[in-house]
Structure 1
Amino acid sequence: MQLIVCLFITALVLGAYAQSDEETSSGTLETTQLPTATGADYATSGTTYADESRTITITASTDYATVTDISSIFATDNGTASSTTRSGNGTTTSSPTETILVGSAKTTTSLNGTATTNGTASGTSTSAQPTNTVPCNGHPALCNRKFSNITHVGAHNSPFIRPGNLAANQMLDVETQLNDGVRMLQFQTHLQNGTMHLCHTSCDLLDVGTLEDYLTTVAKWLRAHPYDVVAILMGNYDVVTPANYTAPVVNSGLIDFVYTPPTQPMPLDSWPTLAEMIFRNQRAVVMLDYEANQTAIPWLLDEFSQMWETLFSPTDRDFPCTAQRPPDQARNVRQQRMYMANHNLNLQVAVAGISIDVPFFPVLNETNAVEGYGSAGWAVANCTTMWDRPPTFLLVDYYNIGSFNGSVFQVAADANGVNYDRASCCGTAGTTNGGIAVKDVARLKWYILLWASTSWVLLS
């Protein structure tokens, strides 16, 4: 009872603060909503996993490629190439001459005999190769790297940025996330009156709009950034049929960029390089955690056929790199799949049937740090030791907060063996305090008050 009263009082304070400082896009003031009861951050009933014992050959019903044969593109003496591209409406245009996307020689470092970085693709040739100057996902060295051989920073619950709401997991909008270097967008979806909405656990708790509107922003960003590849991981919280996801993807324009794999599942070495995906304009890897049917919808990938995850919504600062989903998968199978390290520390509050998992703010700058106990760097190193390779995706809360602005990107850069420009993050002008906007500092103090007060009650 003490905890409920404490949460209620703090929520009122947060609501008053939100009312005095925040205004929604419709022009009305917003109050903080207090969660009443939540379960896991993903569907826990009615879920099944694909049969790992067989491989399905995928046949795409539509040719989404802009270049059908990567071998037909050759570098000229100055390392440039021209190509033909197809626009979203089906028309064909000739693109300007561009620097060809090629990689560099393989270089890795080791720690006690274990690789500590993703290896760069390599090859032998009797002729000099052109030097690539075009960045793929921000780095020229990644162009000839397989998508599965790169550590990508992911935004946990990317759309949920509502200020003053306890169910929020990010501060900056999706366009800013992408501009800063986030390359996986993860979130929950819920079917509301026949329309897919973005809600956190319950649409009564936090509803930030339709899936189509969100994907429209992502598709617009991809059109403006032709050398970037993005993964989109959708949580099918209501366990509805996958056909509910086709209209939002098609109507948003994201369909112009979807990647269709040749098989289900996809072993690590079967994934294309970023350059190949860019040339073919298949730059959106769209995944669904449950109920995907790649025979019917080839581009909507079954997440757990393609990768596995560590413990979701972790509350342990050790961040053990043990697999949680899919369960009961053999180690040799996991070693041939991409994997995601869930590195978003939560405070679990549970009393009188109420269960709330919320981002643990007091140590967020340490959780997203490059080094130190419980840091992102710590977790990646542990995963690398355990699995002989870094995670493919590093999923974090409030990616802009850390030991410095965007420290999680430094962690990914270290895993990828590339340099990171710390001045490139985070968000718009006027951000300080680890990427937190000045007007958000007071709000953050109220959040810390909440965590401190709930922790005190739990310990008393």
Structure 2
Amino acid sequence: MRWPTVLLGFLAVALAQDSSTESSQSGTTTDGTVVSVTTPVAIPSGTYQEFTTTITLSDGDSSVIASTTHYNGTMTASNQTAVTTTSDSLTLLVGGGGGGTTVIGNNSMNATATTTGTATNTPVVNTRPCNNYPEFCTRKYSNITMVATHNSPFIRKNSVAANQALDVTTQLNDGVRTLQFQTHYVNGTMYLCHTTCQLLDAGTLEEYLTDVNKWMRRNPYDVVTFIIGNFDYVSPENFTTPIYNSGLKDLIYTPTKVPMALNDWPTLSEMILKQKRAVFFMDYQANQTAHPWLMDQFSQVWETPFSPTDPAFPCTQQRPPGLSKADAKNRMYMANHNLNLQLNLGSLSMLIPNTAQLDETNAVNGSGSLGEMAQECNTTWGRPPNFLLVDYYNYGNFNGSVFEVAAQMNNVTYDRKCCGKTSGALREVSVAGMSTVLLVAVGVQMVMSAF
């Protein structure tokens, strides 16, 4: 009889949890890499890197962008695009040219270096936004709070596995500058899937990054960060081809040191003027000796408790384990603020996004709000989080509330318009997801009672 096998297979898919909540395993990955996992159930873990010394890398591209046309990294028929010169009003990006220069540019990111004015000259105030704010141009990358979309590609109506409602281009247009996602290596191709590709398949990593590349070419004054969840613990060589083929290769930022301490990071204007503004982190199996640009996340960015079910959202350090407070204060950190619902049906237990409380979770203030957590983190660590990781960023106590929280942490004024809000659709997701879970649970009980 095939029904028990089919139902149990369906159960395995339905019980699949987010990579941040799946219990880890030990063994050999699909590319032969041995992974040792010793952390408790529900805390994912590969091998954590610890650097006893800092490696200084040469800056392979210290020149200022001065060409009239910019092409992407891999010239294929699908992604061959150019940014052409326009005659927009000129503005100044201060502090990015290096060697005592002020750099003049326009909307197409064509820049010309000129000598710095004397002290008696009238100071020039920059009006060109970097990552949405002129104030950010002279700030270090590590001194900015960014909204990060948790599982950015996972958008599926009526799917309990979805974490966002709007596509990645809309996310970027709305102001998101950090994209987090989970990857799976299937038959030689890197896919974006939520735990398993049977549960939610969002396509290939290359397709997703190609869309981001197109957006970055149209927005040359923006730095975008990618936080990769290496679910299958495969070697970093499996990521280089899809990243390069997406067209992002020439935009990739390579750090000057391994690892980068808090004050080692450049300003946004330095990254923008060099057009090295695609920042890549990977949680496990990074090898910065071979690929210094694909940075090991946890030696440079620590996290608060992930996929939390506690609406209090404590701002305690969790990954990497055993990090001293002094070391934690010397690197960036991410506040995980995506509330989950623990669903227990007899012996079955699973975590799903708690969409019913999004208006409170993503709010500016109030119990369990993003704003409350950000303030607590600021008090606890002496500086606000660098990344605010959220589900359904377009929900909150008002449209754009998560961006208002980031603006408050950055001491700037949020005055943008945001976002497409579809409350009804989310309620359908919640109800449909619960219905599916209940049907699976009934099916499993029937299977078990048959034995």
Name the TM-score, length of structure 1 as normaliser: 0.76
Equivalent residue in structure 1 for 2:422, among 431, 436, 450: 436
Give the C-alpha shift of residue 164 in structure 1: 1.1
SS at match of 1:188: strand
1:35 is aligned to 14
Distance change (3 Å), C-alpha of 1:354 and 1:196: farther
Distance change (3 Å), C-alpha of 1:352 and 1:436: same
Q: Does 1:137 align with 2:131?
A: yes
Q: Over residues 319-378 of structure 1, what are the superposed CA-to-partner deviations in whole Å (9 max), with x where a residue is unaligned?
A: 100011001011111101000000000012245664422111221100000000100100
SS at match of 1:100: strand
SS at match of 1:204: coil
2:90 is aligned to 98
> Is 1:362–1:451's contact at 8 Å kept on the other side of the alignment?
no
Give the C-alpha shift of residue 201 in structure 1: 1.1
Alignment of 1:56-135 (within 5 A): 56-59=55-58, 63=60, 65=61, 68-69=62-63, 86-88=70-72, 98-102=90-94, 127-135=121-129
Distance change (3 Å), C-alpha of 1:167 and 1:93: closer
Equivalent residue in structure 1 for 2:388, among 389, 394, 413: 394
Give the C-alpha shift of residue 69 in structure 1: 4.2
Q: Distance in 1 between matches of 2:139 and 2:69?
A: 22
> Is 2:147–2:177's contact at 8 Å kept on the other side of the alignment?
yes
1:36 corresponds to which letter in structure 2?
Answer: L
Q: Distance in 2 between matches of 1:443 and 1:265?
A: 44
> Is 1:187–1:233's contact at 8 Å kept on the other side of the alignment?
yes
Equivalent residue in structure 1 for 2:306, among 312, 329, 349: 312
> Is 1:37–1:355's contact at 8 Å kept on the other side of the alignment?
no
Q: Over residues 49-74 of structure 1, what are the superposed CA-to-partner deviations in whole Å (9 max), with x where a residue is unaligned?
A: 111322122357xx5x4xx246xx9x
> Is 1:307–1:338's contact at 8 Å kept on the other side of the alignment?
yes
Matched positions, count: 381
Distance change (3 Å), C-alpha of 1:69 and 1:251: closer
Q: Does 1:162 align with 2:148?
A: no
Equivalent residue in structure 1 for 2:215, among 203, 210, 221: 221
Q: Between the two proteins, what is the percent identity of the paired residues?
A: 53
Q: Distance in 2 between matches of 1:444 and 1:94?
A: 45
Structure 1 unaligned segments of length 5 or more: list them: 1-7, 9-30, 74-81, 104-123, 428-434, 455-460
Distance change (3 Å), C-alpha of 1:101 and 1:85: farther
> Is 1:258–1:284's contact at 8 Å kept on the other side of the alignment?
yes
> Is 1:369–1:408's contact at 8 Å kept on the other side of the alignment?
yes
Distance change (3 Å), C-alpha of 1:298 and 1:221: same
Structure 2 unaligned segments of length 5 or more: list them: 1-6, 26-34, 36-45, 76-81, 96-117, 440-451
2:52 corresponds to which letter in structure 1?
Answer: S
Distance change (3 Å), C-alpha of 1:376 and 1:125: farther
Equivalent residue in structure 2 for 1:426, among 404, 419, 442: 419
Alignment of 1:286-301 (within 5 A): 286-301=280-295
Q: Over residues 141-186 of structure 1, what are the superposed CA-to-partner deviations in whole Å (9 max), with x where a residue is unaligned?
A: 1111111000000000000001111110000000000000011100
SS at match of 1:248: helix
Q: Distance in 2 between matches of 1:52 and 1:441?
A: 44
Distance change (3 Å), C-alpha of 1:268 and 1:448: same
SS at match of 2:356: helix
